[in-house]
Amino acid sequence: MRVALFIPCYVDQFYPKVAIATLKLLQHLGLPVEYPMQQTCCGQPMANGGFEHLTGSCNSNFIKAFTGYDYIVSPSGSCVLHVKDHLHDHKQEDAATAVRSRVYELCEFLTDVVKVDSIKASFPRKVALHQGCHGQRGLRLASSSEVVASPFSKPVQLLKMVAGLELVDLDRPDECCGFGGTFCVTEEAVSSAMGLSRIDDYTKHAATVVTGTDVSCLMHQEGLIKRKKLPLEVMHISEVLVSGL
Amino acid sequence: MNTHNITHPEAATEFLKNKERVQWHDETLWFVRHKRDKIVNEIPEWEQLRELASQIKDHTLSRLDEYLQEFEAAAISNGVTVHWASDAAEHNRIVHNILAKHGAQKIVKSKSMLTEECHLNEYLETQGIEVVDTDLGERIVQLNKEMPSHIVLPAIHIKKEEVGEIFHQHLGTEKGASDPLYLALAAREHLRQKFLAADIAITGVNFAVAETGAIVVCTNEGNADLGAHLAKVHIACMGIEKLIPRTEHLSVFLRLLARNATGQNITAYSSHFRKPAEGSEMHIVIVDNGRTTQLGREAFRNSLKCIRCGACLNTCPVYRRSGGHSYHNATAGPIGAILAPNLDMRKNADLPFASTLCGSCTDVCPVKIDIHNQLYQWRQVLTQEGYVPAAKTASMKVMAGVLSSPARYSFAGKWARKFLRWFPGLAMNKKLNPWARQRELPEPPKESFREWYKKNSREL
């Protein structure tokens, strides 16, 4: 089994600690992980901005970087959803299809492929979980509150394995935080208002740590938290899952 | 009134200045969404109902021409006069002609988003005819000279104290009175006079049944019935997409509509109108106004399945924090944002971008319209057709060039991090960088993950 680590461009540049935590977690579980150096960006920033027609060279580069691996694993629900929904290349559509079918968000890879049933991590803190919308409603990492179905959540399933971790209940467990790619600057006022609502929900329930499946959502919320100097620590779920290992 | 010169982000920024009001608006609509969640969870087969409704609508749209003709024939044989309007202007002229033929001056109208879309009230005003909206919320916004801000809750942006002030000015209620019961009774008294005096009643249509030629109008106030039964002439205005093939299909849609809209089991009134009473007239105006164009756009076709429950507005975190008027279109919110560009791409090019693509609208939709995917698709169309700023296109081209090449990407990433470290003041300039208005930037690390990996991978 060959597992490739797909690290979103902004995580590579600004949150290497999240990439390192993801790598360590997968290695801790005994998986042979490689980081293909050819990778850059999945093309989502352009595509969601209405410029999918400019993502051709990103797509072919992505396919080149990840072809040949059995699994492509990423600590980002949003980027994985983009690849699954929009990675195409008319010159090599078979290769594109293979990549699309092999890409996994970290949590779903752990629960569905590796079928992890215990993690030795320990994290004795009160944690609020922000389920990124693209992971939740796009990849169905968790049931959404709009749909009538038995509730489930792959990130919660993993967090419950961490010793000492107390997950707080939120008033609105799956409200969007307002990041939304270019939305965070083009609709700055709404974006910030949405983020602040989320943060109010965390503090109201006495969480001291916010975690999530997408660094983009967390980067936006961390920006708001730091500006307000709130006593809330922001960590990606991979960082929580390697705590104390 | 219509604020089409102001873009969604500008209007939203203005709306967000009053924090207390925004919080109230958000919580009020979230309450409706929550009420909806509770009641739909009482229906174990809810998801099957959604699927069924979606399939019935898909099927109907696939044979819309046949069903429209079937409906027309049935309606005519019921004694109804059927009119066809290709656009808003023709719709307004048809309605005006009927009014003129009867010399009607006093018109009552129950809720109809189609007549809002066609700006019927404004048109008739220019012809010297006053239309009284009889839905309470619609009457409030009409008296306040505004457009509805929500499909089913037209005055949701107005607080009861403000309603008290509007009623004080227009209906002579006591100054400062804001008791909802007192105000509702005053509105009832006022509207009763209008109903009794009306020459002609206009209503919308929720469902039009092809096999019988009947129309169904859903209200909580019974105002469609009062209007249509008291006046000698009833004009019902409907878009071509309101059709369902058979009466039995109402058993699917009527179970979905009110539950998803307001968390009620069913609207207080589901009124079936089939034929005019003796000595009365009934007219149905069937309107296209861009719907056949939308039917022809494959990616956007299924937006015509919409039954106007408004749940996508209630659930939308952007709508709740920007208000209905920020969408500068008769239909606001996510559904408005995928319908409006079809009517006018230039004017509505901002709307598909007024979303984080969180997908809550799609999951809440009772007829399974993939709203957030259509928002994404509209972005592509608007960009390709040149409706986005040139500066955005230029920067996206640069970005695509950098991000598709490992060498250019690594180089740019390294310098971006250095830039942030060296010139934090410039990067955090609130005018140049909207990110920085309310947020800090991430602290740039000394090395990227790939740099770290190159150094450490051998030891891993």
Nearest to A140 by CA among A180, A108, A117: A108
Backbone angles phi, psi at B132, to 5 degrees: -105, 120
- Residue in B321, B359, B382 nearest the CB of A194: B321
How much is the pLDDT for B65?
98
User: Model confidence over A86-111: pLDDT tens digits?
Assistant: 999 999 999 999 999 999 999 999 99
Which CATH number do you get for residue A199? 3.40.50
B453 at A interface, C-beta within 8 A: yes
Tell me the count of A-B CB pairs closer than 8 A: 216
B261 at A interface, C-beta within 8 A: no
B259 at A interface, C-beta within 8 A: no
Residue contact A148–B444, C-beta within 8 A: no
Residue contact B12–A189, C-beta within 8 A: yes
Q: Report yes or no: B340 and B331 within 8 Å, Cβ to Cβ.
A: yes
In a domain, A161, yes or no: yes
- Residues with pLDDT less than 50, chain B: 1-3
Number of C-alpha atoms within 13 angstroms, CB side, residue A11?
30
Residue contact B37–A180, C-beta within 8 A: no
User: Model confidence over A132-141: pLDDT tens digits?
Assistant: 999 999 999 9
Domain boundary among A83, A113, A143: A113
Q: Rg for chain A (alpha carbons), in Å?
A: 17
Structural domain that includes position A89: 3-113
Q: How many domains, chain A?
A: 2
Are residues A132 and A218 located together in one domain of the fold?
A: yes
Beta strands in A43-119 (DSSP E): 71-74, 103-105
Q: What CATH fold (topology level) applies to the domain B45-289? A: Rossmann fold (3.40.50)
Calpha distance A25→A29 (Å, rounded): 6
Say what the pTM is. Answer: 0.96
Are residues A140 and A218 located together in one domain of the fold?
A: yes
Q: What is the 3-state secondary structure (H, E, C) of chain B?
A: CCCCCCCHHHHHHHHCCCHHHHHHHHHHHHHHHHHHHHHHCCCCCHHHHHHHHHHHHHHHHHCHHHHHHHHHHHHHHCCCEEEEECCHHHHHHHHHHHHHHCCCCEEEECCCHHHHHCCHHHHHHHCCCEEEECCHHHHHHHHCCCCCCCCCCCCCCCCHHHHHHHHHHHHCCCCCCCCHHHHHHHHHHHHHHHHHHCCEEEECCCEEECCCCEEEEEECCCHHHHHHHHCCEEEEEEEHHHEECCHHHHHHHHHHHHHHHHCCCCCCEEEEECCCCCCCEEEEEEECCCHHHHHHCHHHHHHHHCCCCCHHHHHCHHHHHHCHHHHCCCCCHHHHHHHHHHHCCCCCCCHHHCCCCCCHHHHHCCCCCCHHHHHHHHHHHHHHCCCCCHHHHHHHHHHHHHHCCHHHHHHHHHHHHHHHHHCHHHHCCCCCCHHHHCCCCCCCCCCCHHHHHHHHHHHC
Residues 6+ apart with CB under 8 A from B444: A14, B416, B417, B418, B420, B421
Task: Please tell me the distance in Å from B360's CA to the nearest CA on chain A.
Answer: 7
Cα B125–chain centre separation = 24
Residue B263, phi-psi category: left (phi > 0), alpha (psi -120 to 50), beta (remainder): left
How long a stretch of residues is chain A? 245
Which DSSP helix (H) or strand (E) runs through A176?
none
In a domain, A93, yes or no: yes
User: Model confidence over A165-182: pLDDT tens digits?
Assistant: 999 999 999 999 999 999
Beta bridge partners of B84: B286
For B:419-438, CB contacts with A below 8 A are 433-435, 437-438
Are residues A78 and A130 located together in one domain of the fold?
A: no
How much is the pLDDT for B420?
85
Which ranges constitute the DSSP H helices of A29-76? 44-46, 56-66
Note whether ipTM > 0.90 here: yes
How much is the pLDDT for B460?
66
Closest CA in chain B for residue A39 = B406
User: Model confidence over B352-407: pLDDT tens digits?
Assistant: 999 999 999 999 999 999 999 999 999 999 999 999 888 889 999 999 999 999 99
Calpha distance A236→A226 (Å, rounded): 16
How long a stretch of residues is chain B? 460
- Residue in B46, B357, B449 nearest the CB of A180: B357
Q: Rg for chain B (alpha carbons), in Å?
A: 25
Are residues A84 and A153 located together in one domain of the fold?
A: no
Q: Centre a 10 Å sphere on the Cβ of residue B77 and count the other Cβ atoms it contains.
A: 11
Closest CA in chain B for residue A180 = B356
A43 at B interface, C-beta within 8 A: yes
Calpha distance B260→B265 (Å, rounded): 9
Residues 6+ apart with CB under 8 A from B155: B136, B137, B138, B140, B141, B148, B149, B163
Are residues A130 and A99 located together in one domain of the fold?
A: no
How much is the pLDDT for B428?
83
Are residues A108 and A132 located together in one domain of the fold?
A: no
Residue contact B440–A222, C-beta within 8 A: yes
Average pLDDT of the segment spanning A62-83: 97
A115 at B interface, C-beta within 8 A: no
Residue contact A197–B444, C-beta within 8 A: no
Cα B16–chain centre separation = 20
Closest CA in chain B for residue A54 = B400
For A:181-200, CB contacts with B below 8 A are 181-197
In a domain, A119, yes or no: no
Beta strands in A45-148 (DSSP E): 71-74, 103-105, 126-130
Calpha distance A220→B202 (Å, rounded): 49
Q: What CATH fold (topology level) applies to the domain B1-42+294-388? A: Fumarate Reductase Iron-sulfur Protein; Chain B, domain 2 (1.10.1060)
In a domain, A118, yes or no: no
- Residue in A40, A185, A196 nearest the CB of B409: A40
Are residues A174 and A80 located together in one domain of the fold?
A: no
Nearest to B326 by CA among B146, B139, B163: B146
Residue contact B26–A197, C-beta within 8 A: yes
Are residues A130 and A205 located together in one domain of the fold?
A: yes
Which DSSP helix (H) or strand (E) runs through A113?
none
On chain B, the residues whose CB falls within 8 A of the CB of A35 are: 449-450, 453, 457
In a domain, A187, yes or no: yes
How much is the pLDDT for B371?
98
pLDDT band at A59 (very low <50, low <70, confident <90, very high): very high
In a domain, A121, yes or no: no
Residue contact A180–B356, C-beta within 8 A: yes
Q: Report yes or no: A75 and A9 within 8 Å, Cβ to Cβ.
A: no
Which ranges constitute the DSSP H helices of A167-214? 183-186, 188-204
Residues of each domain in chain B carrying CATH 3.40.50.10420? 45-289
B158-187 as b/e, with b when 16 or more CB fall inside 10 Å? Answer: beeeebbbbbbeeeebeeebbeeeebeebb
Are residues A9 and A108 located together in one domain of the fold?
A: yes
Task: Please tell me the distance in Å from B370's CA to the nearest CA on chain A.
Answer: 12
In a domain, A236, yes or no: yes
How much is the pLDDT for B458?
73
B403 at A interface, C-beta within 8 A: yes
User: Model confidence over B209-224: pLDDT tens digits?
Assistant: 999 999 999 999 999 9
In a domain, A205, yes or no: yes
Are residues A22 and A104 located together in one domain of the fold?
A: yes
Q: Which of A6, A18, A27, A40 to mutate to test the interface with B (most CBs of B within 10 A)?
A: A40
